Chain A
Amino acid sequence: MARRIIWRAVVAGSIALALATSVLVVAGSEVPPIRAVLAALAVGAGSMIPPAVSSRNRLTLAIAVGAALPIVLAEGGLDVVATMAVFLLGCVLLAAAEFVRRGSIRGALVYAARQFLGFSGFVCVFAAVRSLVPSSLGASGWDELGAFVAGGLAWIAVDIALWSATASTDGRISPRFVALSGLRDLNVFITLIATGGLFGMMYGAIGWWALPVALIPYSFAHGAFRRFQETKSTYKQTIRALAQIPEVAGLNLSGHSDRTATLAVAMAEDMGLTPEEVEDVEFAALMHDIGHITLNDPTVAEHGWTREDLARWGAEIIAGAPSLDRIAAYVRRQYEPYRNPGEESDPSVSMVSRIIKTASAYDAHRMGEGLSQLEALERLHQGAAYEYDPEVVASLRRVLDSGVTVNA
């Protein structure tokens, strides 16, 4: 109870402090108050418009608004502290909007703080570059463009570093995975900063007309990002539906491919695989038992089959799609043991294959044989270093301990 009160006091105090500092700083600067309030409102409003991204990071138009501030607010020369104060004011609104959206004060504050620190990095580098570049370049705007590029890079670096540090506090997802997945959204980040820069550079000459002019190229990009992500998720959904056909045909455990995929992805993230590899794990895990559909053929049932046959049939079906040949290779080798007695483990078997093998076996023990979590893990531990990769089994244990829920 006491901790809760202290926590609330700290939250309220820091918000009040942020508000008071920024108001005082803005009031004492040469920035016109109306423009400061408008800018802060724009940051808050922008934070509600997120373009579609690949990672779980949230990038919003607030970044574009922020990128425009150093020029828009700099009529009598750039005042770094006042510009930061205006953005801080906006971050209070942004935190409020974030709180409404995700319902967690802590999450909203951490997110707002990250936005503010990223922006601070941007403004400081921007100002430094502006003061270094000779003003002879100013006529065509190259000085401003250079400052935008350098500042933008600083913002991206700060944001991704802070995000990977905070996103993995629960210990489940490796920071390496988070940082790499953040880098995949570089195109969106650059688009947002370029849009802000475009508005800023035109605002002085054409005033508010700069708004539609800057937003037109942006909306083009926004639509393209959305389409790309939509298609990506549709693709995954289709694969998932196809993977369930052996299950509805009664040839495999119902829900097996879905549960295996959930577990395998969590393990891959825990082990610090790259985002591309994690995607492969998901696809391969969803389809790892697609070969079961062949069991529908009466002649196959007659002649019998082995685990290797199933893996090979599955790989053959997947390889029918040229874009999935990598996945087919992973599925092909999923039956192979980690190592045979007296031999070294075969390095050509991919980590992806080992992960789906272990995740699939766990689900089969748990749901197929009805073992408890502890018993199922015990079985895998017995097979570790021979049937299963010990590192992968250790990762499975960590994932289960951190409470990943797999829908039964």
Chain B
Amino acid sequence: MTPLVKRQARIAAVYAVVALVCLGILIVRAGSFPFFTWLLFTVVFVALEFNAVEVNDRMLQSSGLMVLLTAGTVFAISYETTAALGMASMAALGPLVPADIRERRWFQPVANFGQMVVSATVAGLLLDWWLAGSDTLELPGLLLRVSLAGAVASLVYTGMNIVMVRYAVRYVYGDRTLLPWSGLHILLPSQVVMGLVGGLLGAAFNEVQKTAVIVLILIVYMIAHLSLFSYSQLREAHQAALRGFVKALEARDLYTRGHTERVAYFAQLIGEELHFTGTQLERLRWACLIHDLGKLAIPGELLSKPQLTAEEFDQMRQAARKVEAILAEVDFLRPMVSIAGVHYLDLEEFDASNWSLEASIVATADAFDALTSTRRYRMAMSQQEAFQELRSDSTGRFYPEVIDALERALERTGEVYGATSPTRARIQEGQGARLG
């Protein structure tokens, strides 16, 4: 067993045992339990968690949590404080994710099982304690109290989840990989809303006392979630289509093959180093994918020429401008077009007043890749030389903090690009860095 597997096994064992103890105690002290209602909620909850949706704004991602909290409030008010058992047993069935099963991962599911059950137990106990006896309340007061309890329970559930995930990641992988989870506080507002909604629905159910109502609520949730699921798949397909196109088009030119993918990767590294949010990173990714499309409209013989006449350069600019115009017609791409500077071919077109941090990131990633790759008209530079070259640029296209971020990120990942021995090649003033 490698040390990593050992640490994984330790965390998984501790989490799972604590979770099993929680479940055991709850089952032992349980009285009557509304099994049928529990089954209704559980089927939907597991289905929602099974098709978990990846969307960058997390507002709509938490449909499973909303069902969990609706169930919790229903159990707490209408079925004599059975929320802890109800929620914990639902959460126990949640962590079965298709990707984990397909790839035969054991650590994530077991650790998730532990952390979800423990969080659900705590949130459920809170609901049971807070809402005990509230079924005698009048309507507005009941709704208020239950919604509030739902929101707090939601925060507790999410908070415990975050803490346990962080602890596990820190323990197993060391501090460095903690980054991807650092944005979790952004989730909190949406968790509060989910809790309020869950509470409201639970309280309403308590008044109506018809199980069929739950079926209707769950039908709407399911349909909404499925649409969201197809939405996220479509989004994926959209990006994959563009990426595939770019790749196929790049294949024409041996020298620039893979350029777009590398630029996107460097931009991603810089963005992560500067603590960009998911939405910002995604915008950056799109901008990188389209940044070179302008070149497609440029006649091939011009692209491979080392020196161009003024007219030829003008022809290139016109072509790139036209491509930019059609891309900007797509509402979704318009902001990315201005970041990517699709038409931007040389220094004459650089306009400092129109520049932004994001534009600088794309330009820096682009120039860095151009400098560290071999082109028809010059050899690749070493990484160190490339950074020097970027820093010595006097136009202000490459923000110093962006260059620093790229350098830090590459140090962190331990990757080295460009020639291994220093070369004496220099980029040609004006066009070299951009034309690649």
A residues whose Cβ falls under 8 Å from a Cβ of B: 139-142, 144-145, 148, 187, 190-191, 194-195, 197-198, 201-202, 204-207, 209-210, 212-213, 216-218, 220-221, 223-225, 227-228, 231-232, 234-235, 237-242, 244-245, 248-249, 293-294, 296-298, 316-324
Q: Is B285 an interface residue (CB 8 A)?
A: no
Q: Is B396 an interface residue (CB 8 A)?
A: no
Chain B residues with CB under 8 Å of A323's CB are 237, 240-241
Assembly CA distance A223 to B252 (angstroms):
42
Q: Say yes or no: B330 contacts A201, CB within 8 Å.
A: no
Q: Is B331 an interface residue (CB 8 A)?
A: yes
Assembly CA distance A311 to B184 (angstroms):
48
Secondary structure class of chain A's binding surface, majority of residues: helix
Q: Is B300 an interface residue (CB 8 A)?
A: yes
Assembly CA distance A194 to B214 (angstroms):
11
Q: Say yes or no: B241 contacts A296, CB within 8 Å.
A: no
Q: Say yes or no: A220 contacts B330, CB within 8 Å.
A: no
**A154: min CB distance to chain B, Å:** 18
Assembly CA distance A293 to B248 (angstroms):
11
Q: Say yes or no: A237 contacts B208, CB within 8 Å.
A: no
Determine the residue in chain B with the shortest Cβ distance to A239. Answer: B241
Q: Is B242 an interface residue (CB 8 A)?
A: yes
Q: Is B145 an interface residue (CB 8 A)?
A: no
Q: Say yes or no: A241 contacts B333, CB within 8 Å.
A: yes
B residues whose Cβ falls under 8 Å from a Cβ of A: 60, 63, 66, 139-140, 143, 197, 200-201, 204, 207-213, 215-217, 219-221, 223-228, 230-231, 234-235, 237-238, 240-249, 252, 293, 296-301, 304, 319, 322-323, 325-327, 329-333
Q: Say yes or no: B220 contacts A212, CB within 8 Å.
A: no
Q: Say yes or no: A140 contacts B228, CB within 8 Å.
A: no
Assembly CA distance A317 to B212 (angstroms):
52
Determine the residue in chain B with the shortest Cβ distance to A51. Answer: B227
Chain B residues with CB under 8 Å of A194's CB are 216, 219-220, 223
| Most A CB within 10 A of own CB, among B241, B247, B327, B333 | B241
Q: Say yes or no: A317 contacts B248, CB within 8 Å.
A: yes
Known: A224-B228, A227-B228, A237-B330. A201 touches B216 (CB 8 A): yes
Q: Say yes or no: B245 contacts A213, CB within 8 Å.
A: no
Q: Say yes or no: B213 contacts A234, CB within 8 Å.
A: no
**B56: min CB distance to chain A, Å:** 12
Give the contacting residue for A228; candidates B201, B219, B227, B245; CB below 8 A: B227
Determine the residue in chain A with the shortest Cβ distance to B228. Answer: A224
**A150: min CB distance to chain B, Å:** 14
Known: A231-B234, A237-B331, A238-B330. A213 touches B204 (CB 8 A): yes
Q: Say yes or no: B216 contacts A221, CB within 8 Å.
A: no
Assembly CA distance A41 to B224 (angstroms):
27
Q: Say yes or no: A249 contacts B296, CB within 8 Å.
A: yes
Chain A residues with CB under 8 Å of B249's CB are 293, 317, 320
Chain A residues with CB under 8 Å of B326's CB are 241, 244-245, 248
Determine the residue in chain B with the shortest Cβ distance to A140. Answer: B211
Give the contacting residue for B234; candidates A232, A242, A298; CB below 8 A: A232
**B303: min CB distance to chain A, Å:** 9
Q: Say yes or no: B244 contacts A321, CB within 8 Å.
A: yes
Assembly CA distance A210 to B211 (angstroms):
16
**A153: min CB distance to chain B, Å:** 14
Q: Say yes or no: A237 contacts B329, CB within 8 Å.
A: yes
A-B contact pairs, 11 of them (CB 8 A): A198-B217, A201-B212, A201-B216, A210-B204, A217-B217, A224-B227, A248-B326, A249-B299, A321-B241, A321-B244, A323-B241
Q: Say yes or no: A187 contacts B223, CB within 8 Å.
A: yes
Give the contacting residue for A190; candidates B201, B208, B219, B230; CB below 8 A: B219
Assembly CA distance A90 to B225 (angstroms):
32
Assembly CA distance A334 to B248 (angstroms):
20
**A289: min CB distance to chain B, Å:** 14
Assembly CA distance A323 to B207 (angstroms):
48
Chain B residues with CB under 8 Å of A204's CB are 208
Q: Say yes or no: B210 contacts A140, CB within 8 Å.
A: yes
Known: A209-B204, A228-B227. A324 touches B244 (CB 8 A): yes
Give the contacting residue for B248; candidates A145, A218, A319; CB below 8 A: A319
Chain B residues with CB under 8 Å of A145's CB are 212, 215-216
Assembly CA distance A245 to B248 (angstroms):
14
Give the contacting residue for B220; candidates A144, A195, A231, A324; CB below 8 A: A195
Chain B residues with CB under 8 Å of A239's CB are 241
Chain A residues with CB under 8 Å of B216's CB are 145, 148, 194, 197-198, 201
Known: A201-B216, A248-B326. A206 touches B139 (CB 8 A): yes
Give the contacting residue for A206; candidates B204, B296, B325; CB below 8 A: B204
Chain A residues with CB under 8 Å of B331's CB are 234, 237
Assembly CA distance A201 to B213 (angstroms):
7
Q: Say yes or no: B224 contacts A221, CB within 8 Å.
A: yes
Q: Say yes or no: B238 contacts A234, CB within 8 Å.
A: yes
Q: Besides A141-B212, A201-B216, A296-B252, 19 other CB < 8 A contacts?
A: A141-B211, A144-B212, A191-B223, A202-B207, A216-B197, A220-B60, A224-B227, A227-B228, A227-B231, A234-B238, A241-B327, A241-B330, A242-B242, A249-B319, A298-B301, A317-B249, A318-B248, A319-B244, A320-B244
Give the contacting residue for B221; candidates A187, A202, A220; CB below 8 A: A220
What are the 9 closest A-B residue pairs judged by CB atoms, nearest first?
A: A141-B210, A321-B244, A320-B244, A320-B248, A141-B212, A221-B224, A249-B297, A321-B241, A224-B227
